[in-house]
């Protein structure tokens, strides 16, 4: 049990808090959002490029470029439509990830409710084993989707539990199999009836379904062709943008090009970031906190005690956006 360190996650997991109706507070968080900072850096680069172009043309007095503004505008609208498509697919992936972890919460709670009502109130040993085993699933999945399972974070369900788990290639599958073994044992001991097995099943299989779907999201970015195609389109479009503005705006071409680049690059970059919701950027999902909350819920429902320090992790001191 003691394997869970009481210290809280460091600042690099810090999630951005904001009240969505307050515009000014939102601006204050600018610095903590990595992707927004990277975006501003790139916008600056475009600004330098626009400055060079503008300076050159003004220096050599070639401001009377003729441009077909309607054509340029149509190309821009087409690009915008593609970017919205791209945004949609990225957001869908982000939200599907969130939905899956919400489903994991539901599955774990329902499993706990079902076993709580069936396990004898006095069988504290089985209750504890089950609570820890189940609570380990989201913790292991969190690691599995990121840098690899951190075994020291898991609960020691019985003696040598964590040690035996280290041999597994696919830890979530192993935990699911251990749960199924437990159900079969309880069935043999007549604690569960066959009908209970049927009612348990949907939630139990839901664990691996969530794991598999998260792996899918992680492993499937938008097809390379689209990604490349859109990046190519934006690059060319931004590069010719100053030439379209020069004759009208002279030196104002520089900030206006930067504004245009901000819009186009921004949508594309946020899409790139959002489409992997299992990373560790400030926009990613707080998997660790959700896993901690599931642990607290499951232990409460089953009436199994959890050290206060571990329980406290579920209500992290920082509020979480997602």
Q: Could you tell me if 192 and 116 are in contact, meaning their C-beta atoms sit under 8 angstroms apart?
A: no
Distance CA 137, CA 109 (A): 13
> How far apart are CB 59 and a copy of itself at their closest, in Å?
20
Number of Cβ atoms within 10 Å of the Cβ of 81:
10
Q: Residue 98: which of 253, 298, 287, 230 has the closest Cα? A: 287
> How far apart are CB 17 and a copy of itself at their closest, in Å?
9
User: Should residue 54 be labelled a site residue for a copy of itself when binding is judged by CB under 8 A?
Assistant: no
In the bound state with a copy of itself, the residue whose beta carbon lies nearer, of 52 and 84, is: 84
Q: Which CA distances in Å does 207 have to 63, 128, 175, 286?
A: 64, 19, 10, 18
Interface characters, 162-191, with a copy of itself (x: CB under 8 A): ------xxx--xx-xx--xx-xx-------
> How far apart are CB 161 and a copy of itself at their closest, in Å?
17
In the bound state with a copy of itself, the residue whose beta carbon lies nearer, of 4 and 43, is: 43
User: Should residue 205 be labelled a site residue for a copy of itself when binding is judged by CB under 8 A?
Assistant: yes
Bin 190: left if φ > 0, else alpha if -120 < ψ < 50, else beta.
left
Number of Cβ atoms within 10 Å of the Cβ of 1:
12
In the bound state with a copy of itself, the residue whose beta carbon lies nearer, of 108 and 154, is: 108
Q: Which residues contact 268 (CB under 8 A, 6 or more apart)?
A: 83, 86, 230, 231, 234
Q: Could you tell me if 213 and 93 are in contact, meaning their C-beta atoms sit under 8 angstroms apart?
A: no
User: Should residue 221 be labelled a site residue for a copy of itself when binding is judged by CB under 8 A?
Assistant: yes
Q: Which residues of 38-62 are buried (b: 16+ CB within 10 A; e: fewer)?
A: ebeebbeebbebbbebbeebeeeee
Tell me the residue ranges of DSSP E strands in the chain.
none
Which of 3, 47, 51, 82 is in the footprint of a copy of itself by CB under 8 A? 82
Which of 201, 251, 280, 305 is in the footprint of a copy of itself by CB under 8 A? 201
Which of 1, 6, 30, 55 is in the footprint of a copy of itself by CB under 8 A? 30
User: Should residue 212 be labelled a site residue for a copy of itself when binding is judged by CB under 8 A?
Assistant: yes
> How far apart are CB 305 and a copy of itself at their closest, in Å?
13
> How far apart are CB 129 and a copy of itself at their closest, in Å?
15
Q: Which window, 47-55, 130-138, 139-147, 230-238, contacts a copy of itself (CB under 8 A)?
A: 230-238
User: Should residue 64 be labelled a site residue for a copy of itself when binding is judged by CB under 8 A?
Assistant: no
Distance CA 148, CA 239 (A): 41
Residues in 91-150 at the binding interface with a copy of itself, rule: CB under 8 A: 91, 94-95, 98-99, 102-103, 105-106, 109-110, 112-114, 116-118
Q: Which window, 50-58, 146-154, 156-164, 266-274, contacts a copy of itself (CB under 8 A)?
A: 266-274
User: Should residue 27 be labelled a site residue for a copy of itself when binding is judged by CB under 8 A?
Assistant: yes
């Amino acid at each position: 049990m003691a394997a869970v360190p009481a210290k809280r996650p460091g600042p690099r997991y810090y999630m951005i808090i904001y009240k969505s109706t307050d515009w000014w507070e939102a601006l204050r968080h600018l610095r903590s959002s990595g992707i927004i900072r990277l975006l501003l850096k790139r916008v600056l680069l475009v600004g330098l490029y626009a400055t060079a172009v503008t300076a050159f043309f003004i220096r050599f007095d070639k401001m009377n470029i003729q441009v077909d503004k309607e054509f340029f505008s149509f190309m821009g609208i087409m690009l915008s439509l593609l970017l919205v498509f791209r945004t949609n697919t990225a957001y869908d992936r982000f939200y599907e990830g969130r939905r899956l972890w919400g489903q994991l919460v539901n599955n774990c709670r329902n499993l706990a409710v079902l076993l709580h009502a069936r396990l004898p109130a006095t069988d504290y040993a089985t209750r504890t084993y089950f609570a820890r085993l189940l609570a380990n699933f989201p913790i292991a999945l969190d690691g599995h989707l990121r840098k690899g399972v951190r075994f020291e974070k898991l609960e020691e369900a019985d003696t040598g539990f964590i040690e035996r788990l280290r041999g597994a290639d696919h830890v979530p599958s192993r935990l699911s199999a251990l749960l199924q073994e437990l159900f079969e044992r309880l069935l043999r001991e007549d604690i569960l009836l066959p009908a209970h097995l049927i009612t348990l099943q949907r939630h139990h299989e839901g664990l691996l379904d969530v794991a598999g779907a998260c792996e899918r999201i992680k492993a499937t970015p938008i097809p390379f062709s689209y990604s490349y195609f859109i990046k190519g389109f934006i690059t060319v479009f931004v590069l010719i943008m100053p030439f379209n503005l020069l004759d009208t705006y002279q030196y104002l071409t520089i900030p206006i090009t930067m504004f245009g680049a901000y819009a186009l690059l921004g949508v594309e970059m946020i899409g790139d970031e959002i489409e992997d919701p299992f990373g560790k950027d400030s926009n990613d999902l707080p998997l660790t906190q959700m896993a901690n909350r599931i642990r607290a819920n499951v232990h409460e429902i089953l009436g199994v005690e959890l050290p206060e320090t571990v329980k406290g992790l579920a209500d992290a001191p920082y509020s979480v956006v997602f």
